[in-house]
Amino acid sequence: MLGVTDQPYGSAPASQAPYGNYPGAPAPAPQDTSTNGFAIASLVTGIFGLNLFAIIFGFVGLSQIKKSGQKGRGLAIAGITLAILWIIGLILLFVLVLNAANDVKEQAKPNYTGDVRVTNLSAGDCVNGIKESTSLQNLPKTPCTGKHEGEVFAVFDLPAGDYPGADAVAKQAEDGCTKRFDSYSDTKDEAIQLFYLHPLEASWKIDRGVTCIATKEGGLTGSLKK
């Protein structure tokens, strides 16, 4: 005969229940509070203008900080920002240097759009408008690569002192230009003629300059310079 107990069939005391007792969840790992090394490297390289490294280190640092919770996000951003500022600054500097170089180049070019004072001409300039005149003050410059009437091959000053007279000035100017042509050009073209501009008595005290120009009937093409 089966014995009867106070507990229903299949039950067990609560203290002996096989289910429902679980160990507690593990404590969270302590957060890393150190400063990310890549963030520091980004800032340092950004300060010294190592822009590519600063950008790479910065983004690597930001990625690691997001995962690890490390410090240094501001450092990484600062490094990237400095790198960008360096790049912008270098671009602006390049543009300024390029513009300055172009300005110098443009200033060195002949002024093809207007007349130039004879006293401002220099050896290598090509000109048009050459004519016999007692007072020739301006001549239009033109590229030497195209057809032109003459090419300046020398500019010099006559000796200081009292005005020696028109004939003496003309002779000194002619002799000075003739002597200087061979050192400027080795052309054998016998059709080349020498034209010179010399100071007048009225301007002698402030201008004793002579401008020597090589010309040819029918014009010149290209430079005569060696």
How many domains does the structure of the chain reveal? 2
pLDDT, residue 135, reads 74
> Mind giving me the DSSP string for 170-195?
HHHHHHHHHHHHHHH-----TTEEEE
Q: Are residues 103 and 125 in the same domain?
A: no
Q: Are residues 161 and 189 in the same domain?
A: yes
Confidence of residue 132 (pLDDT cuts 50, 70, 90): confident
Tell me the whole-structure pTM to 2 decimals. Answer: 0.51
Could you report the per-residue pLDDT of 12-63, keeping only the tens digit for each?
Answer: 454 454 545 555 556 565 667 899 999 999 999 999 999 999 999 999 999 9
Q: What angle do the packed helices 51-68 and 73-108 form, to 10 degrees? A: 160
Question: Would 2 be classed as within a structural domain?
Answer: no
Domain that holds residue 168: 115-221
Question: Would 36 be classed as within a structural domain?
Answer: yes
Q: Are residues 84 and 181 in the same domain?
A: no
* Single residue among 72, 88, 107 that ends a domain in this structure: 107
